[in-house]
Amino acid sequence: MSAHATHPRVLTARKNRVLNALIYRLLVRTALQSSFHAVLVHQRVPLPPDDAPLILYGNHSSWWDAYLPMALNEERWHYDGYVMVEETQLARYQFFRFCGGFSVDREDARKAMESLRYAVEVLSTGARRMLLIFPQGEIRANDVRPLRFYTGAAHIARRVAERRGHCWLYPMALRYEFIGEQKPYAFIRIAEPICVRAQAAPDARDLTAQMEQALTQALDALRADVIAYHFAEYERLLSGMWSINRLWDAIRGKSQIRRVGGI
């Protein structure tokens, strides 16, 4: 069954390669570059060596959270990406369906189950498919602990593994910080993935606990790097607009002041 199959309780994705690229270039990339000094990424783990399905899951602390992984995918990963979006939000901004957005309504159990089934179909029926999901289910402060995930992502991973043999879960820590510039930096840190295999898949609660622990460790490592200004292993994914002082110094032919943290 294709990703465009009929699911009466779900606002399904209407993925379109041209419109996806257009929305990314005109809306997402432009917004990131105008709002952040830079987007930095830390990734020391390889992507799966095959076309196995991939679930990218992260913390949810900001309106920007879906933009960053889309930038990561469009600029580097190049997976066929999909994202689970709250139904009320997707109904309002339906153009994101062209980028792989589909709805979930956690207040309606039947609708929620239909969304999980649709997610399994999406990940199971194509090559290099990726699902972005925020298992916290709501925006919470970046340093709130424990993270407390819903179990939906674990259920999806288990069912996809049953159909495809295995499914990869990649933890993604996100953070936004002002570091010496007029505009903030956005940080992405990709941690060691969890491989869910059909023959040895833990139950959904145990897998959810593993996911929480892996992302907590990634978030703590990212916070420690920011506090210590330890950015040697971070690469620039996108560059934004210069601060006013840097523009003014450039216009006057003055040398630039030292960057805080060396970035």
User: What is the rounded distance in angstroms from the CA atom of residue 135 to the CA atom of residue 34?
Assistant: 28
Average pLDDT in the chain = 93
Assigned domain for 8 exists: no
pLDDT at 30 over 50: yes
Assigned domain for 3 exists: no
The pLDDT value given to residue 1:
42
Structure tokens at 175: 């953070």
Assigned domain for 5 exists: no
pLDDT at 234 over 80: yes
Which stretch, 102-111, 216-225, 236-245, has highest mean pLDDT?
216-225
Domain containing 69 equals 17-262
177-232 residue pLDDT tens: 999 889 999 999 999 999 999 988 889 999 999 999 999 999 999 999 999 999 99
The pLDDT value given to residue 65:
97
Segment 20-43 shows an average pLDDT of 97
Assigned domain for 158 exists: yes
User: What is the rounded distance in angstroms from the CA atom of residue 222 to the CA atom of residue 38?
Assistant: 16
Q: State how far the alpha carbon of 231 is from the alpha carbons of 42, 88, 185, 225, 259, in Å.
A: 9, 38, 12, 7, 12
CB half-sphere exposure, 203, CA atoms < 13 A = 1
Domain total in the chain: 1
Segment 147-159 shows an average pLDDT of 96
Assigned domain for 119 exists: yes
**pTM to 2 decimal places:** 0.92
Segment 102-131 shows an average pLDDT of 94
Segment 222-249 shows an average pLDDT of 91
The pLDDT value given to residue 5:
55
Q: State how far the alpha carbon of 25 is from the alpha carbons of 33, 62, 82, 90, 107, in Å.
A: 11, 21, 17, 20, 34
Assigned domain for 2 exists: no
The pLDDT value given to residue 173:
98
User: What is the rounded distance in angstroms from the CA atom of residue 26 to the CA atom of residue 218?
Assistant: 31
User: What is the rounded distance in angstroms from the CA atom of residue 183 to the CA atom of residue 238?
Assistant: 14
List the one residue out of 184, 170, 203, 147 whose CA is nearest residue 261.
184
- The percent of residues in the chain predicted with pLDDT above 70, rounded, is 98
Assigned domain for 32 exists: yes
CATH number at residue 204: 3.40.1130
pLDDT at 46 over 80: yes
Assigned domain for 157 exists: yes
pLDDT at 138 over 70: yes
